[in-house]
Structure formats: structure tokens, C-alpha cells
Structure 1
Amino acid sequence: MILTVDTGATKTLLAVFDDSGRPQNEYQFATPQDQNQYWQALQAAINDRFQPDGIRAIAVAVPGIVNQAGTVAWCGNLPWSDFELAELLRRQFGLPVVVANDANAAGLAEANAIEPVPALCLYLTVSTGIGSGIILSGRLPAELSGSEAGHMLLSKDDQLVSWESFASGRAIHEQFGRFAYEIESTEDWLKISENLSVGLLAILPVLQPDTVVLGGSIGEHFNKFGDALNGLINQKLPPHIKRPQILPTRYGKEAVLYGCYLYARNIQTD
């Protein structure tokens, strides 16, 4: 069994994957703001809800920047820093451990679920903030693992602001006074699409991906805004720039868990 952990800004989801690559025994707890309290809650969840003796590897995703040693250097929506999570897990459980950025993990899963696997896939998770993962031929290059598209500075209302400040799930709630799942108005979803397109139109000429996958809590409503977003991209992207296919998430809320599973499987075979 491989234990996977999707750490979000508000909740943490755990599941074990069997040898066939399917998640089992999902368990969730509220993510503490304090990193030491999170560590205590994570240990308790693993020991109380799972059987550590049957686990072969652990993969944890976090909403922030992770260095090669598995230390969480910074989180945008959690006050964590210099959090040696991988080392703590190794010492506690004596297992192979990988700690990764959540958007990178989800992107890894989503890119490898597409046939054929795209040469360059841009994954965007639009939730509390906006995260990004750049996947090349089904693999995540270490040199690109720190991408943070949500913190890209863009001109909005004559000010230079981050993309996620006006296009993320949090921004949507601030603008409309409702969560995405409560929004039905075509006009409101067009406005959401316009805000998403601003960032995409800045990224696409640089990366020129074959595929863009939209995930996170907003991406799950792709059926409400996908056509409008594609229309805006087709209308505004210069004609000589490659137009990617823009797809909804395949794995939905479990995308990060599936990506963690792939990470852990890779460290076992490397």
C-alpha cells in the first residue's frame, strides 16, 4: 500500500492506494494553521486510521514551495516555513517519503491520464488560490517544479496585481458573495472566464502548451464556463500562437492523491 496525503489550506485528505492504483479508506481532517499542530494531527491520522506496517511509501502534497529535501519552504495560504516534513515522516515511520507541491502532483496525474500524453501540459488548480504544474511528456522537470502562476503580476484596473487576487476561488467569493457551486448566472460565469483568460493569455505565448487542464474547486465547474473561456482564448490569442486544448480535470477532488501515488511509485522504482 502507498499512503497519499493531500494537504489543503482548509482540509487534509488521506487515502491508501492498492497495487492496482486505486484509492481506498479515505479520511479527512481540518488542516491546522500551525505546522507543528498539523504534524501532530497527521501522525495521529496515520496511526489511528491506517496500518503503518502495511504501508510501503508515503507521498504528501502541500500548497506551497517544496525543496529537493522535502522541506516545505513556504505556503501561500498557510503560515508555514522551513517545515522539514519529509525528514519528520522518515524518522517517525522509517519509510520512503516524498513531499511535493499540490499543483505539481495533480498535474502529474492529469497529464498521464491523457492519451496520448501531451508533450507539454499546463495544469492549473483554481481553488483558494491559483497553483500551476508544468508537465513535460508525463514527467515533472525539477527545474520547473517551482512554477507559481497564481503569483504572476498582471495589469488589472490600472494596478499591477497577482492573477489569483482577482481570478481565484477566494476572489470569486469576494466578488460575487457566493461560492462557485452556488453561481448559476451565465453573466457571472462569463466574468469569471474573463478573469481566468487574462492570466492564460499571458502564459500561452510563452509556454505554448499542447494541453491546459483546469482543476481545483473552480475547475470542477468547467461545464459552466469552459465554452466561454475557449471562446475568449480563440478570440484574443494572436493567430500565430498555438492554441492548446483546454480540458476539465479528470480526477476532480482526487487529482492530488493520484499524483501523490505516481510520485511514490516513482521513488520506489528509481
Structure 2
Amino acid sequence: MGRWSRAVAKEFVAWLDRPDGLRWLDVGCGTGVLSAVVSARCRPRVVLGVDHSAAFVRAAESVVPAPAGFLVGDAMALPVRDAGCDVVVSGLALNFLPDPAGAVAEMARAVRPGGPVAAYVWDYAGGMGLLRRFWDAAVAVDPSAAALDEGRRFPVCRPEALRAVWAGAGLVDVRVVPLSTSTVFTGFTDLWEPFLSGPGPAPGYVAALSPGRREELRAALDAAVPRETDGSIVLGARAWAVRGCAP
């Protein structure tokens, strides 16, 4: 999904509509996609990205210039003082944290009074056409695959759950909105090959299959995806964005 994460990050930052010169904290920054968009579009005073993965932090440092900086750190114990940031954000990371509610409470600790805490997550349950078709095909071939389906595993990636987590952290004026883009593939090979390598539940599941079962899954997915007249495949991709302010 890395192909489309930048497009959604741009929509998210535009939706936040923050002024120049602010201090930003990017929690679960990964390889720096959201930090890069903030740096390019918001003229921040500083952007601090924090991630538990040293490899991700090194990757972010290699591609995102100052005023962004990156640290290896824990989302449950952010390396910033109370109310030390003007804006705290997180992109496509909340559902991978062991305690999303605790992480959002920590994000709320880090933001100044009146400042926003905001995040976005893929809508795994219904808005991710690629993954929805993948897991539906996988379950048709292997019913046990249902336990790995992100739509079931990540209930926080739904509007009502996000609202509850933000309100539970004491944030006010909570809003949740959809952010949409399209995933475009030149053909089925372009769609299928990313499942054969890389991180994530779906590639991990494919890697564990026997060659015969993998071919069954490939055929089932091939039959399930729609084609344009030129053979390309266009699927929707939706994220949910949530924002609340510190009282």
C-alpha cells in the first residue's frame, strides 16, 4: 500500500489546515511519508518523527530533510515534554500499536492546550478494495485465513471506534472523515507481485502457502478483480481520518 500512502498523507495534511511555523510530532513515522508531506507543505518550525523501528528511522533520515528529525522511540512513552508540541499526528500506524488507546492518551499529553491530535488509518473492513478482494479470495480457498484478515483484526480502524478512542483520551471537538484515493494497476501481474514479498499480513500469508495453494489463491484473486477496457485494474482505497483537540 506504500504506493498510495503519500496521496492519502497529502489529503490528511490539507484537511488539518494548520498554519506555518508549528512544532509537529509524527508518531509511528515509519519511513517518513507523513513527515515529508508536513515538511513540504506546512513550513513547520520542526517535525519530530518517532518510530520503534531503527531501520525505518534510518530510512526516514535518508530521504526527509530538515527541519524534520527522527528518533527511535516508544509510542507509549514519547520522548517529548508535556504540552511540548503544537500538532501531534500519526499516519497508518495506530492499528499496529499494542495499545491504541494508551498511545492516543500519550499523544494528548504531548500536545499543547487547544492543539490537535490527529491520525488516519486504512479502512480495512470495507474501504480497501485491494485487501478486501485479497482476503475474500484467500478465505474462499482457505477458510482459516479469516483469522488474518485486517478487517477483523483491526476494529479500531472504524469511525465509531476512532471517536471512542479520541474521546477516551480526553480530546474534544472530535471529527472523523473519509479520505479516498484510487489504486491503479497496469494489469494483474502488477497487482499480484507485491503480495509475493515485503512486510504485512497478506504477503506473510502468501509466503507461508504451499506452491499449489498459492496458485489457487492467485487464480481466485485474478477472477475476482474488475478490469478496465485496457486491462488495467482500478480499485478504491479509503482511509479514516480523526482529529480532536486538547482541552
Please say whether Structure 1 and Structure 2 have the same fold, judged by a TM-score greater than 0.5: no
TM-score, normalised to structure 2, is 0.35
TM-score, normalised to structure 1, is 0.33
